[in-house]
Structures are given as structure tokens and as C-alpha cells.
Amino acid sequence: MRKFDVKQIMTNAWVAAANAAYFHGGKKAEYFAECLKAEWAFAKRMAAAAVAAPAQKAARVAKAAAEITSIKRWFVKKNFNAAEAFVIETNDWIEVLEETAKAYKLRVHNAKLGNITTWAPKSCCIA
């Protein structure tokens, strides 16, 4: 059985009813029933999304790892010389070789200038 915060649902419904009364005229009690229905529907959708979120999150992480398009500029300037930085900035694609909790091992492919293999923090990788 799901537990809902009924106090929060009621408060949100009254606030929505007050806003509706302000914008459309009338009393907030006239709008309360519809606002309460909408709040309950919203709470149920949020509860269903919370249950489904772990499966979506795992799929998103795998997708993001496969779609790295570049590495943040400040990280490249700090850790590579000018020639290596140019190869990374003008890459054709970036391949993820390994993954840890905080970093990716990347192979940066550049058809004209060669490949570079390096570790980069996940926070510096742009998907």
C-alpha cells in the first residue's frame, strides 16, 4: 500500500484553488473539488514514477556512456599539451573502453591525427 502525504496534497489543492479563484474569479471553495482531483492524480503519477525510476536510470547511464561527444575544455587544457588538445577538440568520435564509479577510460578517435587513450572524470565528459 502506498503512503501519501495527505496534508501536502490538501495544502496544494487549496493553493491551486486560491490561484484559480484569483485568475478566474469566484471563491476558492468553488474550485477546490477539481483542484483536489488534480492533486491526487499528480500524487499517484509521482508515486508510479518513483517506482519506475530505477529501471530508467540504469538505462540512461548506459546510454550516456556510449554517447560521449567531447571532454570539457578546461580539463583538456590542464592535462594535455597543445597537440594532444587539438586531437581531442577535433575528434571524430569518443569510445568508452572502461568505466569506474567516477571516471571513464576513453579512446579519442581522430582519422587525420591519430588516437589518444586517456582517463577522464565523468563530470568532465559531455554527452
All three cell numbers of 83, joined, read: 597537440
Which DSSP string do the residues of 13-78 spell out, in sequence order? Answer: HHHHHHHHHHHH-S-HHHHHHHHHHHHHHHHHHHHHHHHHHHHHHHHHHHHHHHT--EE-HHHHHH
**Would you mind telling me the total number of residues written for the chain in this entry?**
127
All three cell numbers of 109, joined, read: 578517435
Phi-psi group of 53: left, alpha or beta (phi > 0 → left; psi -120 to 50 → alpha; rest → beta): alpha
Instruction: Tell me the mean pLDDT in the region 49-71.
Output: 61
Predicted TM-score (pTM) of this structure: 0.47
3-state secondary structure of 121: strand
**b (16+ CB within 10 A) / e for 69-88:** eebeeebbeeebeeebbebb
Query: If you average pLDDT over each of 56-65, 73-82, 109-118, which comes out highest?
Result: 73-82
Per-residue confidence at 25, pLDDT binned at 50, 70, 90? very high
Q: Name every residue whose Cβ is closer than 8 Å to that of residue 48 and which is 6 or more positions away in sequence.
A: none
Q: Output the pLDDT for position 12.
A: 94
